[in-house]
Amino acid sequence: MHSSARSLGIGSLQTVSPEELYQVIVDASSQDVSRIKASSERLEAMLGMFGSYDALQEIASRTAYPLPIRQQAMIQFKNAVLGYWRSRKYLSDEHRTRIRQRSLIFVDEVDETIASCNEVVVAKIARIDYPDEWPNLTEHILKIIDTSLQNRYVAMSEDPKETLRLRRTLSLLNEILKEFSSVKLLAGVKVMSSIVEQLHVLLSNYYSKMSATFSESNLKPDSIASQSMCENILLSHLVYKCLVKMAVWFWGRIPRLTTDGFKPNQVWVEEFFRKSAIQLSSVAILRKKIALSMLQSDLMRNDQTLRTMIALTRHLRTFGKFFRRLQRHSAERFMTLPTSEDLILFYWSEIIDCSNHPQRMLSDSDEALFPLRFIVQGMAIFKESLSQWTPRRKSGIPNKQSFSQEFVENSVRVLVTRFLPLNASDLENWMSDPEEWVSTEEKENARWEFEIRACAEHVIVQLSGHFPDFVIPLLATNFVRSAPQPCADLDAVLQKEALYCAVGRCAFRLRDAIQFDSWVDTFATEAQATDQNSYPIIKRRIAWLLGKLVSEQCSAPNNPKVWETLMHLLHDRGSGSDAVVRLTAATSLRECVNGKDFMAETFAPFLSTAISELIQLMAEADSLESKRKVDESLNKVIERSGTFVIPFITVITEPIPHLWLAAGDDHDLKISLLRTMTQLAEAVKENARVLGLLVVPLVRESFVPKSSLMLDYDAVEMWYSTLKNTDTIFGPNDVPSLRELYPLLFHLMSTHGDIIGLTLRVVDSSLLLDAPHLLQTYANELCRGYLDAFQLKVGDVHQFQVMQSLGLMTQLCPASMWGEAMHTSGLFPRLLKAFVTDEVRDELMAELIYLFSRLLLADSRLFLQLMAAAAPVLNNPETKLYELLLDRWWGKFDTISQPRYRKLIAMGISALVGTGRIEVLQRIPEEIVELWADVFADRTDSPHPTTLEPTDPDDEPGFVTGWDLTRPPKSYFRESEGTAEYARREAVYSRDPIRTARLVVYVREKLKEAEANCGAETLQRYLNSTDPETLRQFQQLFVEG
C-alpha cells in the first residue's frame, strides 16, 4: 500500500499508520460486536491523525481488498474528509493532490456504494478547489465521456466496462453540476457559469444523438428486451439530467441578467424546452404502447424488459421534474416558452385518457400503463398554469385562449368522479393502520405534488377560483341532487364522499350558492346511519366537512346540530364507525370551537361529552402522534370554553400523569400536555389553586437534562399561567405546592437566557402572590438570580425587566427583607457600576434611576448603607460614587418625559436630600432645585388633583400634563387581564407613593429631615445659595401645602 505516513508527525500530531488503519477497518467490518466497538473507538482517534484521509481513500481504491472493507473505508472517508479538507493539520498539499487524482479512478468502480460516495466527495471537493487547485477536472471528465461515447455510438462497442465507465462519469458530472448549481456566492456562481458555458451545447448534441437510439423507429415491443436498449436509455437519461440542471440554473437567472451576451443562453433554454416537450410526448406515447403490449402478452415480461421499462419511465418523469422546476420559478414566464400550451394540453389529455381506463391501470409502478407520478406531475403542471387560461386576464381584458365551459365542467367531473374517490389502496391502508392514515390525510399541503387525490383536490380549488361561473353552479347542483340520496353500494358511497370532499375544498366560494346551515340536518342523519361497513367512509367525510364549513364561516359554529353530530361521531363505537371517524371528528371539533363567532354558552351542554370523549380517544390511540393531535383539540376546547370547564378540572388533569409517562422521549406530546395545563389554568381562573400539585412535578420533569432544551419554554409558561390565575400559593388543604419550585426559579434566572423574559414574569407573579415568604426565605438567592439575569449575554431587553421586577419587589416588602441581600449577592454594586460608568444605553439608565428612586423611597438610610458597602467593592471612594451618581441622575433627567416617572425621580432625590449627605446638599442650589421646579411645573399640586387617562387605554401614555393616570397603561398589567393577578397589580398601583404622596408635602418633609440630620445652619446655607425668586415660590408652595 502506498503510504503517506512519515516517521515524524506534524508538531504534536501523530502520523497515521496505514497498516493499523487497515486492520481497524477490517475489525469495523466484522460481525463481532466487541471488535466493532473497539475499532469504532480507535477509528475515531485515528481520524485525528495526519494522513488518515489519504490512507482511507487508498484502502477504498484497492480492488483486491474484500468489498465490505473497501465500502467501510469509503464511507468513513466520505463522512470525515470534507470537514477537514482545508486543514493543513490533517492533510498536506501532497495528500490533497493524490486524493483528487485517485478519486477519478473510481469511474471504473463496480460497487454502487463506493461509486456514489466518491461522487459526493468529488463534487464537494470541486466546490472548494475548482478551478484554482483542480483546473483540469472538467476537461478530464469530458475526455472520458467523449472517448466512451465514440466507442459506444460510433465504433458500436458494447463492452460492459466501457458502458460502466460512461455511466459513472456521467453520474459524476451530474453530481458536480448539482453541487455548483446550489452555490449562491458570486465566486461560485461565476464558476458555475463557466462550466455551463463549456458544457451545455456539447451535452445537448450528445443527447440528440443518444436519444435517437430509443426513438419510435428503434424502440419497439420486440427490442425492449435488449440490454443495449436499456443502457442507451439510462445513459441518455444521465446526460439529460445534466442538461436539466444547467437549463434550470440559466432559467433562474434570466430575469436578473439582461446583457446581450446572455441572450444566446436564453435562446438555448427555450430551444431545449421545446425539444423536451416534443420528446416528452413522443416518449410517453411510445412507452404507453409498450406497456399495453406487456399487459396483453406475458411473453414480453422478463427481467430485462422490466429494467428497460423502469429506465424509460424514470426518464419520462425527469421531463416532468424539469417542467415543474421551470414553472416554480415563474408560472407566467413558463407560459411564454415555445409549445408550453401544447405541453400542458398533452398532459391533460393523458389525464383524461387515464380516466377512461380501469382504475388498476393507474398505479405507482414503473411498468403501469399510467404511472402515478407521471399523472400527478401532469396535474400539478396543469394546476399551476390555470391562471393563463381564465376568461379574463389580470388586466381585465377578455382572454381569447380561455377554456370553454364544457372543458372546465368536464375537467371537474373527471376529477371528482375518477381521481377524488378513495381507491382500493386507500381503503386497505385505512383498515391496516387507521391512525397513520389519518395522519397522512392531514398533511394535505405537503402531499399534493406527490399523491393523486391531494393533487386533484388542489386542481379543483384552482378551477373554482379561476372559473367560478362554471365550477360553482356545477358543484352546487350535484351536491343538492346527491346529498339527500341514500347510497346503494360502496361505489355510491365513494362517489358521494368525493363530492363532499370537493364541496368542502371549495366551501368558501360555495357559501352563496349553497345554504349549508339548512343541510346540517342531512349530515346529522347520515352521521347516525345504521351500522354498515361502508358507512365510516361517509361519516369520516361528514366530520371533516363540518369542520371545513365552520372554519370557512360557511356555517354558524353555534348550531346545536353541529355539536350533536360531532358528539355522536366522537362517541360512536359501533360497527358503522371506527378510529378514523373519531380522530377526524376530534380534529373537526377543534376547528369548530375555534370558529369566529363561537359562543361557549351554546357549546356548554356538550362540553362534558366532548371532554370525556377526547380523553377516552387519547387513551385508545396507539401512536403518540395521534394522542398529541387529540390533545390539541382538547386544548382548544378548554381555551374557548373558559370557566365552563371548571366542573371538569379533575376529569382533565387525572389522565395527564399517565400520558406523560407514556410519552417517554416524545417531546411533542409532552409540550401539548404542558399546554393543556396552561390552557386549563387560564380557563379556570382562581380555581387554578388546585393545579399546583400537578404543575410542580410537571415543571420538575420538564427540566431534567434530556428534556430541558425542548420543554423549558412551555413548562415555564404553564408555571406562569398558574401563578397568574391562582389566588393562593398553597395547594389544597394548605399543602405548600408552588413554593417548592423557588430553587428551580433561581436556577433558571441564572442559566436559561433564551427564556429569561418569561422567567422574570414568573418572578413577578411569585412576588405578587408570596413576596413576604419568598424574601424572608430566599432573599439572597433571589437577588443573586437578578444579578445573573442582568449579566446574561442575550441582549438588553431582559435587563429592563430585571429593573422593573426589582422595583416591584421594593414596593411589596419592607427594605429590611431585601436590603442586606442586595449587597451580599453583589447585585447593588453591579447595578451601581453599570449606572456610574455609563455602560448601558440611555433607556436602561432611566430604569436604573427609577430603581434607585424606589430604593430611596423604601428606606433612604438603607440606600446610604448600600452605597457605603459598594465603595470598596467598586474600588472607589464613597464621595466619588455620590458625585458620579448625582452627575448621571441630573444628566439623564431631561431625557425622561413621562410626568409619573419624573415625579418618582423628584421624590427619590428628595429622599436623598433628606439623608443630609453633604455631597447631595451641595447640589441643591442649582441642580436639585431646578429638578424640583421642572417637576412642579408638570402639574399644579393641589389637594384635589385632576387625574387624566390616556385616550386609548391600550396605549402607553406619552407626555401628558399631570403626574397621575386613573388607570395604569395596559403594559403595566403584563397581559394579566381577567386573572387574579390583575387585582394584585392594581392594588400595588393604587398604593404607590407616586399616587398617594403629594410632592410638595413630600419635599417639605424631606427638607425637615435634612435639617435634623445636618443641622439647620448647614441646610440654610445651601438654600440661601438658591435663586431668591425660586426659593420664594417654593416657600409659598410649602406654606399652601
pLDDT < 50 positions in the chain: 1-11, 260, 940-962
Per-residue pLDDT, 948: 39
Torsions phi, psi for 838 (to 5 deg): 55, 35
Task: Note the helical H segments in 706-755.
Answer: 708-725, 742-751
Torsions phi, psi for 488 (to 5 deg): -80, -30
- HEC letters along 528-544: CCCCCCCHHHHHHHHHH
Which residues make beta-bridge pairs with 398?
A: 392
Domain boundary assignment for the chain? 1-134, 136-383, 737-861, 924-1040
Per-residue pLDDT, 12: 54
Summarize pLDDT for 711-760 with one digit per residue, the tens. 999 999 999 999 999 999 987 776 668 999 999 999 999 999 999 999 99
Which residues make beta-bridge pairs with 356?
A: none
Per-residue pLDDT, 884: 94
Question: Whole-angstrom Cα distance, residue 1000 to residue 1015?
Answer: 21
Question: Whole-angstrom Cα distance, residue 431 to residue 436?
Answer: 10
Could you tell me the three cell numbers for 1012? 435634623
Task: Note the helical H segments in 212-226.
Answer: none
Question: Whole-angstrom Cα distance, residue 18 to residue 3?
Answer: 6
On whether the CB atoms of residues 820 and 862 are closer than 8 A, the answer is no
Cis omega before residue 391 (within 30°)? no
Provide CB contacts within 8 A for 66, sequence distance 6+: 29
**CA 738 to each of CA 690, 758, 897: distance values in angstroms, whole numbers, following the listed order:** 11, 17, 40
Tell me the Cα Rg of the chain: 39
Task: State the DSSP code for 1002.
Answer: H
Task: State the DSSP code for 945.
Answer: P
Question: Whole-angstrom Cα distance, residue 29 to residue 24?
Answer: 9
Question: With pLDDT > 70 as the criterion, what percentage of the chain qualifies?
Answer: 94
Question: Whole-angstrom Cα distance, residue 1041 to residue 1029?
Answer: 18
Does this model's pTM top 0.85? My answer is yes
Question: Whole-angstrom Cα distance, residue 284 to residue 192?
Answer: 32
On whether the CB atoms of residues 671 and 711 are closer than 8 A, the answer is yes
Task: Note the helical H segments in 875-970.
Answer: 878-893, 899-914, 918-921, 929-938
Residue carrying C-alpha cell 456610574: 836
On whether the CB atoms of residues 421 and 357 are closer than 8 A, the answer is no
Which residues make beta-bridge pairs with 965?
A: 948
Provide CB contacts within 8 A for 349, sequence distance 6+: none
Summarize pLDDT for 408-417 with one digit per residue, the tens. 999 999 999 9
Residue 720, SS3?
helix
What are the b/e assignments for 777-794, b being 16+ CB within 10 Å? ebbbbbbbbbbbbbebee
- CA-nearest of 1030, 1004, 1001 to 1019 is 1004
Question: Whole-angstrom Cα distance, residue 395 to residue 563?
Answer: 45
- CA-nearest of 571, 643, 581 to 614 is 571
Could you tell me the three cell numbers for 63? 480492488
